[in-house]
Amino acid sequence: MNELTLNNHVRMPVIGYGTWDIRGEAGKQSILTALDLGYRLIDTAQMYENEYIVGYAVKESGIPREELFLTTKIYRPRTTYQKAKSGIEQSLNELQTDYIDLLLIHEPYKSAPEMYEAFKEALRDGKVRAIGISNFDAEKYKEFVRSCEIIPAVNQVESHVYFPQLELKNLLNSYGTQMQSWASFTEGRTHPARPFHLMPTAPAAVYESRILISPEDSRSVCPFSYCTIKWQSWSTSSAVAFLSPDGDSIVISFPTTRLFARYFST
């Protein structure tokens, strides 16, 4: 798995497995499948109410903790310094780990700077390896960095072929913050001008989508992939996606079928 270097020299995988609607035993098995396929970045959040499932899956996988990269997020109920501090301890317990690789403020709350003080303390104490934010647009980001001593390592935002947010990416780059995308596969949404086409074959199917940027740029813009995907053909289907060896295809494995999503530049 390819990696990139964050602004504090921490190495982070360029593709991760998102768990926002992972639940129960089936969710744990999806995480185990992702790990078996080579994923090493697993993303969760207190809002998702499934950190404990990630923790159990990581333990059951038998993969050494230092080979994994765990991301989680603190949200609205923990928007003071003290509450954020206790929230970090809660996440450490739920994930059954001594440290979190990347800790994010889930949304741009008014008290985000106060929460960030608890994040910085956890960073200094070795409980967190990197800290950042999520869902901050350009104005919210600029306002936030004016008040923080440590520039966020990551800003995780919606970014995909229909909404790449290249201007925001350029702004973040200028400060040394890595943009990380959620909904990289559009959560199954389509665009009238550039629809996804499902072409059944046996035993596989192919999704094709034309995009406005090259495959290399798409991996730079969208280094993170939420792969519990909501396609039009399924209400909710757990899937695992990974890059092919040539880097041009994304293979998406479902419990009962396999989809090959190939990206083409215009």
* Structure-token pair, residue 254: 């479902």
pLDDT in tens, 153-168: 999 999 988 888 999 9
What pLDDT is recorded for position 223? 37
Average pLDDT over residues 224-234: 29
Share of the chain above pLDDT 70, in %: 70
232/186 Cα distance (integer angstroms):
11
What pLDDT is recorded for position 190? 66
Is 42 in a helix, a strand, or coil?
Answer: strand
The closest alpha carbon to 182, from 157, 218, 164, 155, belongs to 157
H, E, C per residue of 142-209: HHHHCCCCCCCCEEEEECECCECCHHHHHHHHHHCCEEEEECCCHHHCCCCCCCCEEEECCCEEEEEE
pLDDT in tens, 67-106: 999 999 999 999 999 999 999 999 999 999 999 999 999 9
Cα 265–Cα 190–Cα 207 angle in degrees, nearest 5: 55
CB atoms within 10 A of CB 251: 17
* Structure-token pair, residue 225: 């992939």
- Inter-axis angle of helices 138-145 and 112-124, nearest 10: 60
What pLDDT is recorded for position 229? 28
pLDDT at 189 over 50: yes
The closest alpha carbon to 243, from 38, 98, 104, belongs to 38
Residues in the chain, overall count: 266
pLDDT in tens, 33-77: 999 999 999 999 999 999 999 999 999 999 999 999 999 999 999
**Does this model's pTM top 0.85?**
no
* Structure-token pair, residue 31: 């995480």
DSSP 100: B
* CB of 12 closer than 8 Å to CB of 69: yes
Instruction: Considering only residues 93 and 228, tell me which one the structure prediction assigns the higher pLDDT.
Output: 93
Look up the CATH architecture of domain 3-187: Alpha-Beta Barrel (3.20)
Share of the chain above pLDDT 90, in %: 64
Lowest-confidence pick of 176-180, 195-199, 221-225: 221-225
Active site residues: 48
13/26 Cα distance (integer angstroms):
24
Domain limits of the chain? Answer: 3-187
Q: Is the dihedral of CA 96, 97, 98, 104 positive or negative?
A: negative
* CB of 148 closer than 8 Å to CB of 113: yes
* CB of 175 closer than 8 Å to CB of 153: no
Average pLDDT over residues 250-266: 34
256/68 Cα distance (integer angstroms):
27
